[in-house]
């Protein structure tokens, strides 16, 4: 693989020290190109969530290297001062549950991110509406999150992950609460969006329904990643 996207080299994460130290990540090597959607699969306790937290700049790895686009963001220490700004501007998140802000309407839930980045309100809302059109939830733009179906909420959450046009999106079990049809629809949307916005998307999943759709899969076991080719099955 070549190109930008996100590249992880020899990433390690150790919790604690001395006799009680636990190596949650021992050797993680990954590369996801722009426009690509890869699966990250592993049993419970394998280090998936720890990896996601490291990639999301939520916790600090112990060693290794992370390159986002052209920038080294971690090389045995953070190379970026403002991690919040990094998360806001360059990393998109899609969670297992949509976790939309219940007191903001759908548009503002998505437009909030660009607003936080200093983009004028009108421009931020325009971006949100454009994404709603692409995700087919434009008609729910003024609704409150509680008025949406599960599938609609997840599509809005995807829009929130994409709205700042980050080079990478981390999706944590995004299809877990959905039935087969809707789960495949979400994966289709993620693939479409990855291509449209040149975004690298890492999908952490246990979901047997969607695993065959990935062209590349990273397995993680005892803190070590192994790459394998996926079926890349058509999800239509």
Partner 1 sequence: MISLAGRDILHSWGKFVFTGMGLGLLIGITLSMAGIYRGMVDDAKVLLDNSGADLWVVQKDTLGPYAEPSSIYDDIWRGIRGIPGVDQAANITYLTMQVSKDSGDVRVMVAGITPGGPGTPGWPPYLVAGRQITRSHYEAVADIASGLKLGERIKLRRHHYTIVGLTRRMVSSNGDPMVFIPLKDAQEEQFLKDNDAIWAQRRRTAQNPAFNRPGVPGLLDAVIASQSTNPYVNAVLVRVKKGYDPEQVAESIRRWKRLTVYTRSQMEKILVGKLIATAAKQIFMFLVILSLVSSAIVAFIIYTLTLGKIREIAVLKLIGTKNRTIIALIMQQSIALGLIGFVVGKISATLLMAPIFPKHVLLEPLDSAIGLIAVVMICVLSSIVAIRAALKVDPAEAIGG
Position among 36, 89, 152, 207 found at the interface with partner 1 (CB under 8 A): 89
Closest C-alpha to 56, from 42, 39, 70, 74: 74
Q: Could you tell me if 199 and 92 are in contact, meaning their C-beta atoms sit under 8 angstroms apart?
A: yes
Residues 119-138 interacting with partner 1 (rule: CB under 8 A): 121
Q: How far is the CB of 211 from partner 1 (least distance, A)?
A: 19
Is residue 166 classed as helix, strand or coil in its secondary structure? coil
By CB under 8 A, residue 77 contacts partner 1: no
Residues 47-76 interacting with partner 1 (rule: CB under 8 A): 48-50, 52-53, 56, 58-59
By CB under 8 A, residue 168 contacts partner 1: no
- Give all strands of the β-sheet with 6-15 in edge-to-edge order: 71-75, 63-68, 6-15, 22-32, 224-229, 216-221, 37-41, 200-204, 168-172, 91-94
- Calculate ∠ Cα 35-50-208, nearest 5°: 60
By CB under 8 A, residue 93 contacts partner 1: yes
By CB under 8 A, residue 141 contacts partner 1: no
Q: How far is the CB of 109 from partner 1 (least distance, A)?
A: 10
Q: Kindly list the distances between the CA atom of residue 232 and the CA atoms of 34, 80, 99, 167, 227, in Å, as whole numbers in the listed order.
A: 17, 35, 29, 22, 14
Rounded Cα–Cα distance for residues 161 and 188 (Å): 15
Q: How many binding residues for partner 1 (CB under 8 A)?
A: 33
Residue with token string 């150790």: 14
By CB under 8 A, residue 78 contacts partner 1: no
Residues 144-163 interacting with partner 1 (rule: CB under 8 A): 144, 160
Position among 102, 208, 229, 236 found at the interface with partner 1 (CB under 8 A): 102
Q: How far is the CB of 101 from partner 1 (least distance, A)?
A: 5
Q: Site residues (CB under 8 A) for partner 1?
A: 48-50, 52-53, 56, 58-59, 84-89, 93, 95-96, 99, 101-104, 108, 111-113, 115-117, 121, 144, 160, 172
């Amino acid at each position: 693989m070549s190109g930008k996207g996100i590249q992880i080299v020899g990433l390690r994460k150790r919790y604690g020290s001395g006799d009680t130290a636990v190596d949650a990540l021992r050797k993680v090597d990954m590369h996801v190109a722009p426009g690509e959607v890869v699966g990250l699969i592993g049993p419970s306790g394998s280090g998936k969530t720890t990896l996601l937290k490291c990639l999301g700049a939520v916790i600090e790895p112990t060693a290794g290297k992370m390159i986002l686009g052209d920038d080294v963001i971690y090389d045995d220490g953070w190379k970026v001062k403002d991690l919040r700004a990094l998360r806001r501007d360059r990393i998109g998140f899609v969670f297992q549950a949509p976790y939309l802000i219940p007191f903001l309407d759908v548009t503002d839930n998505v437009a909030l991110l660009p607003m936080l980045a200093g983009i004028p309100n009108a421009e931020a809302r325009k971006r949100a509406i454009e994404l709603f059109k692409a995700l087919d939830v434009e008609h729910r733009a003024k609704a409150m999150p509680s008025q949406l179906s599960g599938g609609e909420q997840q599509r809005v959450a995807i829009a929130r992950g994409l709205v700042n046009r980050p080079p990478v999106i981390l999706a944590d079990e995004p299809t877990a609460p959905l039935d087969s049809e809707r789960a495949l629809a979400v994966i289709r949307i993620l693939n479409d969006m990855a291509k449209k916005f040149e975004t690298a998307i890492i999908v952490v999943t246990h979901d047997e329904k969607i695993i065959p759709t990935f062209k590349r899969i990273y397995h993680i076991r005892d803190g070590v990643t192994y790459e394998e080719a996926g079926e890349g099955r058509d999800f239509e």
